[in-house]
Amino acid sequence: MLANIVSYSGNIIVHVVRYVGDLTLLLGRTVYHVFTPPFNAYRVLSQAKRIGPGSFLIASLVAFFIGMIMALQMAYLMLEMSAEIYIPSVVAVSLTRELAPVLTALIVAGRIGAGITAEIGSMTVTEQVDAMRAFAVNPVKYLVVPRFLGLVIMLPVLTVFADLVGMLGGFVICVYKLYISPTLYFSMIADALTAKDIVTGLTKTVFFGAIIALVGCHQGLNVQSGAEGVGRSTTIAVVISFILIIIADCFFTTLFYFLLRV
């Protein structure tokens, strides 16, 4: 029994290390081709358009209700202490530092990451990727780089809108439920927010975008077993992206707020 547990645990560790190594190698090749001509701005802009406007509505909707929920949940405790005046500050800082970047990344991972895996996976099983290699077209340059840049560029933009819309959700509760004046609401937000809150939150999203792109492309390029394999790889890509985003968020939170004191 113990031997089976040790063997199973060892296999998991080996697979995790191998997978992280594969992602690292793909990251290295992607970064290399980002700075290697020829450059195709049209493909990058096409992916950015697909990622940004396509995800704006759902990301904003989630952020709006998260802002409302936060204000409502804090109202119970804050009203007992007669400290409801601080609710706008807590909503703003929580959104910009943690909630908006992470939730937006998870939404994009579920929507765009799955699409990337399915799209590239379909090309892999129909041998289109092999045909690219036969014609001396690098799949990383042609397929991975535009999606990588599109996500790295557009995820911070989506997060900025999520920050603003989330604060608007808090505004609805604070003004119309807690009767805080609109002027005071925005004044408390302006006093509480600093540049480091916004910058650290947006910095995370750059890495979250890279994670979504690399995981989605890696799973798509390594699809096996035909159409069934595409569906399985798509599911795995979303799950792994979620896990890596949460781990990365924990790492950057520790780095920024406890080690660097940012």
Per the structure, how many domains does the chain have? Answer: 1
In a domain, 235, yes or no: yes
CA distances from 135 to 132, 207, 233, 261 (A): 5, 32, 26, 51
pLDDT recorded at residue 107: 93
In a domain, 95, yes or no: yes
The type of residue at 61 is L
Arithmetic mean of pLDDT, 133-160 = 91
Domain of 63, in residue numbers = 40-259
pLDDT recorded at residue 127: 84
In a domain, 147, yes or no: yes
In a domain, 15, yes or no: no
Q: Using CA atoms, how far apart are residues 227 and 225, in angstroms rounded to an integer?
A: 7
In a domain, 30, yes or no: no
pTM, 2 dp: 0.91
pLDDT in tens, 27-50: 999 999 888 888 888 888 988 988
